[in-house]
């Protein structure tokens, strides 16, 4: 269920792409904003001109946005919370 929900989030974020939003100071990769997450291991790859392994993206989203819902037993409910929570956090942080 997590991977299905993650695919939806990555679609919202434009996929596994590096870009810089006009209103932001730093770049974003797969929805991971460098200013907010400067220590994410994927930046080491990007700084060398390489694409970060997907596992780093997957682990980032799991640890930061999915894991907080671990106590929810129903996987469908957990995925729905993740899919709803992530865009909400983005809106609140802008």
pLDDT at residue 89 in the model: 56
Ranges 61-65, 70-74, 76-80, 83-87: which has the least confidence: 83-87
CA atoms of 89 and 41, how far apart (whole Å)? 22
pLDDT band at 91 (very low <50, low <70, confident <90, very high): low
> Residue 4 has what pLDDT?
84
pLDDT given at position 58: 96
- 53 Cβ contact list (under 8 Å, min separation 6): 42, 45
Domain that holds residue 32: 2-93
pTM: predicted TM-score of the whole model, two decimal places: 0.80
The runs of H, that is alpha helices, within 1-94 are 2-12, 42-47, 54-61, 75-93
Q: How many domains does the chain have?
A: 1
Q: Please report the pLDDT score of residue 92 as a whole number.
A: 47
């Amino acid at each position: 269920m997590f991977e299905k929900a993650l695919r939806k989030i990555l679609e919202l974020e434009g996929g596994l792409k590096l870009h810089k939003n006009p209103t932001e100071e730093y770049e974003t990769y797969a929805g991971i904003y460098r200013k907010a997450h400067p220590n994410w291991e994927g930046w080491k790859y990007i700084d060398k001109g390489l694409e970060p392994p997907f596992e780093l993206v997957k682990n980032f989203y799991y640890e930061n946005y999915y894991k907080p819902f671990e106590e929810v037993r129903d996987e469908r409910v957990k995925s729905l919370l993740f899919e709803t929570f992530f865009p909400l956090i983005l809106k609140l942080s802008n």
